Amino acid sequence: MQAKINWFGIAGGIAVLLLICLSAYFPWWQLVVGENLVKANVSPIYTNFDFIGSSFTIPLLLALNISSVILMTVGGIALLIYSFKPLASYSRRLLSFGYKKPLYSLILFVVCLVAITLVVKSVWDLNVPLMGSAQTTLPSEMTQGATVSVLMVASFQWPFLLAIAAAGLCIAARFYDKKIATAQPA
């Protein structure tokens, strides 16, 4: 009898673990204000800000990043364990836990980005783009009455595309599990 293996699960688990490693160095989304006056490198794994050459992180975001790293790592490992033994009694629980983590990370990341840009727009009247560039005039309260206009450039980086691919592979692993279950002899 041929051993059953969920190849989509293996690919998804490896993609998730690779995504975690790469996201520590490359952001999913980047915002640059002016000529590198302010730079925001944002991902669920690592978020930092650069203000005139000084890099800093926000402790709350760091805590959220660490919890995201832990959850995605455990999810990727659970998916890999399931993939090699998809017919074991514990496998369905591993699959159910593992395949959702990259999808939830991706959805929460996009929702938070959209929410933050809307809050910044409503509170400070700054037009922060999600993608592309925008010329923004800073509020006079921030510039002591002077009119200051800056260029903001925002873009999703290639690790974001890897996150989409990893989430897709994990969902494909879930659907392929149904095929493995129906092919199991009685």
Query: Which CATH number covers residue 91?
Result: 1.20.140
What is the rounded end-to-end Cα distance, in angstroms, of the chain?
Answer: 13
The boundaries of the domain holding residue 34 are 7-183
What pLDDT is attached to residue 44?
94
| Among the listed residues 40, 36, 12, the one whose alpha carbon sits nearest the alpha carbon of residue 27 | 40
Number of folded domains that form the chain: 1
Residue 1 domain-assigned (yes or no): no
Asked if residue 36 belongs to a domain, the reply is yes
- In the DSSP assignment, the letter for residue 45 is S
Q: Give me the pLDDT at residue 137, please.
A: 79
Q: For residue 31, tell me if it sits in a domain.
A: yes
Assigned domain for 2 exists: no
Beta bridge partners of 29: 42, 156
> Mean pLDDT in runs of 10 for the chain (186 residues)?
79 96 94 89 93 87 94 95 90 91 94 93 88 84 78 95 96 90 65
In sequence order, what DSSP letters do the residues of 60-108 get, joined into one string?
Answer: HHHHHHHHHHHHHHHHHHHHHHHHH-TTSTTHHHHHHHHTHHHHHHHHH
